[in-house]
Amino acid sequence: MTDLFLPFRFKVSLYTQGNGQLICGGSFSEVSGLEASMEVKTLREGGRNYGEVQLAGQTTFATIVLKRGVTEIGDLWSWFDITTQQGNYGYRLSGEIDVLDPGEAEKVLLRWKLSNCMATKFKGPDLSATAAQIAIEELELVHEGLNLERPDSGRGQASATGNGVGPGAGAGGTTSSGVNIGAGAK
């Protein structure tokens, strides 16, 4: 029987694209938006009276939302601030979201890789004199590719970038498992 993954133990890392330097990372209380969808093109073919032909269209990706408790480090704001400064407008990073094994320290079960991430919205904490909960900051980012790897399972990877279709190719010790769409997000 296959074990199900538990979504409560994960870490996020955001790196520069050139030298791979860690810019922002660590624990977050919530990550959402790990989603890709493909537009369907419908074609009515003459002489084919039993339904329409369904063709694959462009792949789009949901906005990733990162939420965590506010700390004195301020790296989420720093990245957003860099992207809005003249000369750095649209500054991009690469990202990884690792789902960790609850029983073993740092064993990665799943790794979502994001390519060409750009911060698009920062939300500071809601402040209230009567609040008793932790202050939460939020960062929204868009990206151009989503890749799923299973580094410790030998099951391989599948990716989506919307750039075309090609055979799957393993990377980082993984083996291919099915469809690899595009050539980015490795």
Residue 11's pLDDT is what?
Answer: 92
Q: Report the range out of 78-87, 147-156, 157-166 with the highest average pLDDT.
A: 78-87
In a domain, 103, yes or no: yes
In a domain, 179, yes or no: no
**pLDDT mean over 49-58:** 92
Whole-angstrom distance, CA of residue 58 vs CA of residue 37: 8
Whole-angstrom distance, CA of residue 180 vs CA of residue 116: 18
Give residue for tokens 């330097």: 21
Q: Report the range out of 28-37, 70-79, 175-184 with the highest average pLDDT.
A: 28-37
Report yes or no on whether pTM surpasses 0.85: no
Find the CATH number of the domain harbouring 103.
2.30.110.20
Whole-angstrom distance, CA of residue 162 vs CA of residue 115: 12
Looking at the structure of the chain, the number of domains it has is 1
Query: Structural domain of residue 76, as residue ranges?
Result: 10-42+53-153
Whole-angstrom distance, CA of residue 137 vs CA of residue 74: 10
